[in-house]
A = this chain, B = another copy of it.
Amino acid sequence: MSRRTSLKDIAERVGVSTALVSYVINGQEKEKRVGKEVVKKIRAAAVELNYQPNQIARSLRRGSTKTIGLVVADIANPFFGNMARVIEDEANKQGYTVIFGSSDENSGKMGSLVDILINRQVDGFIIVPAEGTDLQIKVMQEKKIPLVLTDRYFMEVTTNYVVLDNFGATYDAISHLIEKGYKKIGMIAYKSNLIHMKERIRGYIEAMNNNNLGNEIRIEEVRNNHVGIDVEEAMSKLTAGERKINAILFATNALTISGLYCVQKLSLKIPEELAIIGFDGNEAFDFFYSPLTYIEQPIEEMGKEAVRVLIEQINGSTKIVHIKLRHTLIKRQSSL
């Protein structure tokens, strides 16, 4: 890779100091009173030599990289993939570049990911925090590293966040099922202390309680590293025996998909034997023989807001922003 042209090259060709070139390149020729002729020559040389500023040098000097670090659970998960896309576009619009990493919901991995990104001097972070990373986040917060959490947050740590109104979402979903006449409603969620899960479960419970169905509450919590077998076990448990349910709410996209595989296996009739509500959109929901009712998240808004808030923060704002966005319940055949 032959050396790229630098400010110095232009300076030499035009016969001036690098300072002047820098001023012109950065559009400060007025304030710094650079001569008209010289400005022209510098511009011409820059074009001719195809000058592109070295962002690394610039970053070192300016102390800002115009880069944001994005940490999600798994970029291959469509929910996070879509979010990443929105964030990418929005960041680009504002002149920022995105570096990403997947934590796999693992606190250790998230820690080293964050370290790497800090060493690369990202200007700020958008993070989907893994379980047990409250301390990590707190430390970042104390170091005044600009930071926005999304999808989830920690009650004990005061940070910016942009999340779904998870309680409202599941409350609404359960209310809809009840309205349709279902009473024996179960739920499959992750075993997790993360707030989004707690809130989704709370929405379910309160909706049940408020409709005098408190004693019908049946929640199965599965391990996120054994989704396949755990969901299978949970489904068998819930759909058999005395207290067999006739409707179910899944707490995430992945859980819904896993649940659908079980439904196939157990050849349950949807919605006759079991009504279903899923989480997030997914093409698979459309092609399931009984198209799924699901809770749609405003991914686009979420990503955009996250970037907006983060950049405000990077630009020095110190106010803490909490944003809860509303879902949309897409009603279809699986909950008729």
Binding site for B on A (CB under 8 A): 1-2, 52-57, 59-60, 65, 67, 74-78, 81-82, 84-85, 88-89, 92, 97-102, 115-121, 143-145, 257, 260-261, 264, 282-284, 286-289
8 Å CB contact of A120 from B55, B88, B145: B55
8 Å CB contact of A143 from B2, B53, B76, B261: B2
Task: Tell me how many chains of this kind the complex includes.
Answer: 2
8 Å CB contact of A283 from B54, B65, B100, B283: B283
The answer to whether A84 and B76 touch (CB under 8 A), given A56-B121, A98-B99, A257-B283, is yes
Q: Which residues from chain B contact A143 at a C-beta distance below 8 Å? A: 1-2
Assembled-state Cα–Cα distance A82/B81 (Å): 9
8 Å CB contact of A284 from B67, B74, B145, B286: B286
| B100 A120 Cβ-Cβ under 8 A | no
Taking A54-B60, A74-B85, A97-B101 as given, write out 10 further A-B residue pairs in contact, using a Cβ cutoff of 8 Å, ordered by the A residue number: A52-B119, A55-B120, A67-B120, A76-B85, A81-B81, A89-B102, A98-B99, A282-B284, A287-B287, A287-B288
| B78 A118 Cβ-Cβ under 8 A | no
Q: Which residues from chain B contact A100 at a C-beta distance below 8 Å? A: 88, 98, 100
CB-based nearest B residue for A257: B283
Assembled-state Cα–Cα distance A121/B55 (Å): 7
Shortest A102–chain B CB gap in Å is 6
7 A–B contacts, CB within 8 A, in A order: A54-B60, A54-B119, A56-B56, A67-B120, A74-B85, A75-B88, A97-B116
CB-based nearest B residue for A256: B283
Assembled-state Cα–Cα distance A257/B285 (Å): 12
CB-based nearest B residue for A142: B2
CB-based nearest B residue for A57: B60
Shortest A95–chain B CB gap in Å is 9
Q: Which of A55, A119, A287 has the most CB of B within 10 A?
A: A287
Assembled-state Cα–Cα distance A288/B264 (Å): 11
| B287 A118 Cβ-Cβ under 8 A | no
Shortest A109–chain B CB gap in Å is 10
Assembled-state Cα–Cα distance A101/B85 (Å): 9
8 Å CB contact of A75 from B85, B257, B284: B85
Q: Which residues from chain B contact A57 at a C-beta distance below 8 Å? A: 60
| B286 A261 Cβ-Cβ under 8 A | yes
CB-based nearest B residue for A109: B92
Q: Which of A89, A99, A283 has the most CB of B within 10 A?
A: A283
Shortest A312–chain B CB gap in Å is 15
